[in-house]
Amino acid sequence: MFKKIAIFGVGLIGGSFALALKNAEAVERVLGLGRSTASLARARELGIIDEIATSVAEAVRDTDLILVAAPVAQTEAILAAIAPYLQPGTVVTDAGSTKSDVVAAARKALGVKVAQFVPGHPIAGRELNGPDAAIADLYVGKKVVLAPLAENTPQDVARVAEAWRQCGAIIHQLTPEKHDCVFAAVSHLPHLLAYALVDDIANKPHADLLFQYAASGFRDFTRIAGSSPEMWRDISLANQTALLHELDSYLVQLTQVRALLAVGDGPALEAVYANAQRARHNWIKTIEAAEKPEKQGGD
Amino acid sequence: MFKKIAIFGVGLIGGSFALALKNAEAVERVLGLGRSTASLARARELGIIDEIATSVAEAVRDTDLILVAAPVAQTEAILAAIAPYLQPGTVVTDAGSTKSDVVAAARKALGVKVAQFVPGHPIAGRELNGPDAAIADLYVGKKVVLAPLAENTPQDVARVAEAWRQCGAIIHQLTPEKHDCVFAAVSHLPHLLAYALVDDIANKPHADLLFQYAASGFRDFTRIAGSSPEMWRDISLANQTALLHELDSYLVQLTQVRALLAVGDGPALEAVYANAQRARHNWIKTIEAAEKPEKQGGD
């Protein structure tokens, strides 16, 4: 049970975290902070937070847990603002999509107090944003990756894990570096590819004709290109090294597939397609099997 | 009103066409033909066809309209089997995803009778196959692209268009070459890219770890990699030239985006992402506006 929690950024991610903890009766009092007074007022109206903190000092004082749920590029400034008030016994975590850069920012902003910072990344989202998009069951059955630092105490890591578990999430652990490699491959690269494809088509002289015949396959393939350009610019730059590595690997792959197509090698082309179909099918089966007991057992 | 229609291939596409025409009371008698006797029996059981044709001759004789709805690679053989029995007054159409190769096959198989062949491509589908997947409203509000030949009579083109209109479809016309360029960009290339990405990930030594953290964005992006490898091998090869052209254009685009990422050019990267987001948003708005009156006015 948490007596006091402070949330920096009361939108979809931070707001859903607060709602879930309240729903589970795992928190007594939630304070909110953020750049937009309108969002903070709305979050209080919706019962996401109990109070709008009047200062960082008030938000941080005697707080059990602080969640930073703002765009990744703001993490360092927020942690720097928190640092002077951070008391022993308070644990800080975040919800950023990249971890190596967040860890670097935390070390810079918090100094030795970085021991109290447990980096995290909930793998959940919706296509909506802001406090109105927040829902109590956003994290039910979803993964939360914690990327603990060598300096973290097991107690602090356990406390952050417990908060997410109360939200219905399943806890995973990766190093910050491994985290960033994994998400470069399965999330950041697909976003870049989808953006690049739509931009490429939009810049063609006959773009209107092309879009006229785009159908449901194209719609699904490019859905992630509907995401926030600012957010994905930040993620791309924050995870530049791993993303470049994955992009280069994919460019090699595309060049090989192009060669098969150019010589009309049907069997080899089919082998690539069939391997992909099989792998995707197995993946879908695995996640469906994993989600089932979770859904049945979840509260 | 059609007295007799013959369908070669009674699966999702051919079966839904037959069901839609029956639903609209636009046909008296539907005969089915195909490679699988089990599928034909099932199609009759489901009321998709009235009779299983005992021979190509029987299917073709005194028929108003013939739809070839088999995998594209079989088109030439089917048309060659039809040719000797094809009488004046019968019109033949197809449902293949590529058109230039189908036209070439039709010219070879039908000779001068190619005048009776009106190439077509319904832009509709489901993730299921076979007669059991056939539904009467598959084509409601969907586009059907006809790619008429110089030899076609306006009456024959109108007859094929009318059949699809009875299914609830909206008729478009493109030349076979234009058709293939358009679908290379908005359908065939995305399929190749999705297959290539999943295959690339599946072949990495830490594939299991990567798939473990793939989430809903990845799922949508790769949905089309769940499609039939044989079918997409055939489409890729049938539309080789246009697909290579689009792939090369995309490789140039990716190389440019890679350069922006490598130098950390945030504003330029964001401009690509924002242009894509805007173009996709406008596209979605346009198709949603186009679909609305169709749904309200459709029968």
The DSSP element (H or E) to which A12 belongs, if any, is: helix A12-23
The CATH fold assigned to A2-173 is: Rossmann fold (3.40.50)
Please answer yes or no on whether B243 and A261 come within 8 Å at the CB atom. yes
Phi, psi of B91 (to 5 degrees): -115, 140
A295 pLDDT above the threshold of 70: no
Chain B's closest residue to A251, CA to CA, is B251
| A143 CB within 8 Å of a chain B CB | yes
Class of B2-174 per CATH? alpha beta
Entry pTM:
0.90
Residue to mutate among B199, B203, B246, B287, with most A CBs inside 10 A, is: B199
Which residues in A lie closer than 8 A to residue B211 (C-beta atoms)?
186, 279, 283, 286
Chain A: give the shortest CA distance to residue B111, in Å: 27
The residue behind tokens 């083109």 is B157
Chain B: give the shortest CA distance to residue A149, in Å: 20
Alpha helices, DSSP H, located in A203-239: 207-213, 216-221, 229-238
| A2 CB within 8 Å of a chain B CB | no
Mean of the per-residue pLDDT values of chain B = 94
Q: Are strands A91-94 and B2-8 parallel, antiparallel or unpaired?
A: unpaired
Please answer yes or no on whether B185 and A196 come within 8 Å at the CB atom. no
Chain A: give the shortest CA distance to residue B9, in Å: 23
Please answer yes or no on whether B225 and A258 come within 8 Å at the CB atom. no
CB neighbourhood size of A14 (10 A):
28
- pLDDT for position B297: 35
**CATH architecture of the domain formed by A178-297:** Orthogonal Bundle (1.10)
| B219 CB within 8 Å of a chain A CB | yes
Mean of the per-residue pLDDT values of chain A = 94
**Residue B186 DSSP symbol:** I
Chain B 227-246, residues with CB within 8 Å of chain A CB atoms: 227-230, 232-233, 236-237, 240, 243-244
**Measured between alpha carbons, how far is A40 from B205 in angstroms, rounded to an integer?**
46
- pLDDT for position B129: 83
B12 pLDDT above the threshold of 80: yes
The DSSP element (H or E) to which A4 belongs, if any, is: strand A2-8
Rounded to 5°, the CA angle B176-B180-B185 comes to 155
A218 pLDDT above the threshold of 90: yes
- pLDDT for position B299: 34
Chain B's closest residue to A272, CA to CA, is B199
Could you read off the pLDDT of A50-82 as tens digits, one per residue?
999 999 999 999 999 999 999 888 999 999 999
Looking at domain B178-262, its CATH superfamily turns out to be 6-phosphogluconate dehydrogenase C-terminal like domain (1.10.3660.10)
Q: Which of B230, B250, B283 sits opposite A214 (nearest CB)?
A: B283
Structure tokens at B152: 């076609």
Phi/psi region, residue B63 (left: phi>0; alpha: psi -120 to 50; beta: rest), is beta
Chain B's closest residue to A266, CA to CA, is B233
The full set of domain ranges for chain B reads 2-174, 178-262
Q: Is B66 exposed, middle or buried (0-12, 13-18, 19+ CB in 10 A)?
A: buried
Phi/psi region, residue A153 (left: phi>0; alpha: psi -120 to 50; beta: rest), is beta
- pLDDT for position A296: 40
Could you read off the pLDDT of A122-153 as tens digits, one per residue?
999 877 789 999 999 999 999 999 999 999 99
Which residues in A lie closer than 8 A to residue B269 (C-beta atoms)?
233, 236-237
Residue to mutate among B197, B235, B288, with most A CBs inside 10 A, is: B197
| A84 CB within 8 Å of a chain B CB | no
**Measured between alpha carbons, how far is B299 from A177 in angstroms, rounded to an integer?**
57
Chain B's closest residue to A254, CA to CA, is B196
Bridge partners of B32, per DSSP, are B7, B52
A288 pLDDT above the threshold of 90: no
- pLDDT for position B292: 62
The DSSP element (H or E) to which A2 belongs, if any, is: strand A2-8
Among A3-7, A240-244, B126-130, B149-153, whose mean pLDDT is lowest?
Answer: B126-130
Chain B's closest residue to A199, CA to CA, is B276
CB neighbourhood size of B153 (10 A):
13
Of B262, B104, B229, give the one whose Cα is nearest residue A266: B229
**Measured between alpha carbons, how far is B124 from A197 in angstroms, rounded to an integer?**
22
What is the largest distance, in Å, between two alpha-carbon atoms of chain A?
A: 68
Which residues in B lie closer than 8 A to residue A270 (C-beta atoms)?
229-230, 233
Structure tokens at A182: 């994994």
- DSSP state string for B203-222: TSTTHHHHHHH--HHHHHHT
- pLDDT for position A84: 98
User: For chain B, what is the radius of gyration of the CA atoms?
Assistant: 21
ipTM of the complex: 0.90
Chain B's closest residue to A142, CA to CA, is B215
A201 pLDDT above the threshold of 70: yes
The DSSP element (H or E) to which B4 belongs, if any, is: strand B2-8
